[in-house]
Structure 1
Amino acid sequence: MGSLIYSAISSLDGYIEDANGNFQWAAPDAEVHAFVNELERPIGTYLYGRGMYATMSYWETAVDHSPVSQAYADIWRAADKIVYSRTLTSVETARTRLEHEFTPAAVADLKQSSPTALSIGGADLGGQALKAGLVDEVHLLLAPVLVGGGKRSLPDGLTTQLTLLDQHTFASGFIHLHYTVGD
């Protein structure tokens, strides 16, 4: 059975993008990016909403001369992707399928049948999965910035117990927090 992991890069005040939709402040340096690569390496399937898919599809054709970025592109391309969108009619990346509805029961079945970990990305979709009790682990990378508002990294109205499994600090001021969800 695969575990479902919600990961986000967030400002210290809890936003994945600011009030104008910008997230350039979240760009990881090489040390943070290499760490993320190791977190992502065991992922067999990415679950995305439309917006996160649009952002992440960059990696389909990315040609970067940075070894750490190229390594991430290779990791991303090797994984399956499922995009949940009511408005998209097709997807443009390899190993990707489109679903028009996020159904907790279908995701629970996917977890049950998956031999690898699954990652859910995007605050909206991740929030739905958290509220449905589907998420097993949370990885938050906190950027050393306050943005004052925007799209929250974690959903409002959710109360659940988290247990800290690991923490890591980086020279740039980023902090990684790894939690298990539930009891």
Structure 2
Amino acid sequence: MAKLLYFGIGSLDGYVSDENGRFDWAEPDHEVHAAANEVARPIGTYLYGRRMYDVMSFWASSEAESDPEPVMQDYTRIWRAAEKVVFSTTLAEASTDRTRIERSFDARSIAELKRTAAADISIGGAHLAAQAIAAGLVDEYIFFAYPVVVGGGTPFFPRAVHLDLDLVDVHRFGNGAISMRYRSLHTHQH
């Protein structure tokens, strides 16, 4: 059975974007990007909300393909090789290869995907992930926390949920960021 991983990069106080929707303060340097590539490498399918898909579709661009940095070229290959499912009520068609659109999040179909997928699955976008977390579908949480406090915005973890987690791995990067990987033990709704 495949695992569902929720991965994000954000602030030390747990936000993936600030109150203005910005996240440039957490742009990965070479070392962090290489570590993120290793998180992404075994992923067979990405589940995205519309906004996250809009951001991530950069990796299908010629600009991404022509980036001279090996770490960027590596991620471009990783991202393009994976299947993508975009959950959107308004997106008419996908702008990237290996991508399908679903109109609504269905916990049963995600559970079936986990049961049948040959490789692990990741979910991206805090609002979409909140639905998977509420349904008890997320198996691991991977958060790269940057040494910045933004005071508000879009939280990595949804409100009104209690998660019991087991720390699997932690790593400190040269730029002061920390990656934390947790395995889910239990999910409780408030």
Deviation at 1:26, TM superposition (A): 1.0
Could you tell me how far apart the structure 2 residues matched to 1:27 and 1:180 are?
Answer: 25
1:82-137: CA deviation from partner (whole Å, max 9, x where unpaired): 00001111111000000001000000000000010000001001111011100000
1:123-180: CA deviation from partner (whole Å, max 9, x where unpaired): 0011110111000000000011011111111100001200000100001001000000
- Equivalent in 87, 90, 105 of residue 108 of structure 2: 105
Unaligned runs of 5+ in 1: none
Could you tell me how far apart the structure 2 residues matched to 1:87 and 1:53 are?
Answer: 13
Report how many residues are paired.
183
Q: Which amino acid aligns with 1:53?
A: Y
Deviation at 1:16, TM superposition (A): 0.5
Partner of 2:78: 75
Partner of 1:60: 60
Unaligned runs of 5+ in 2: none
Give me the TM-score of the superposition, normalised by structure 2: 0.95
Could you tell me how far apart the structure 2 residues matched to 1:72 and 1:131 are?
Answer: 30
Range that drifts further, 91-100 or 56-65: 56-65
Q: Which amino acid aligns with 2:86?
A: V
1:28-76: CA deviation from partner (whole Å, max 9, x where unpaired): 1100100111111000000000000000000011131111011001100
**Identity of paired residues, percent?**
50
Q: Which amino acid aligns with 2:55?
A: T
- Partner SS state of residue 57, structure 1: helix
Partner of 1:93: 96
CA RMSD of aligned residues (A): 0.7
Runs of 4+ residues over 2 Å off in structure 1 = none
Q: Which amino acid aligns with 1:119?
A: S
- Partner SS state of residue 182, structure 1: strand
Partner of 1:17: 17
Could you tell me how far apart the structure 2 residues matched to 1:159 and 1:28 are?
Answer: 29
- Partner SS state of residue 20, structure 2: coil
1:133 correspondence with 2:133? no
- Partner SS state of residue 161, structure 2: coil
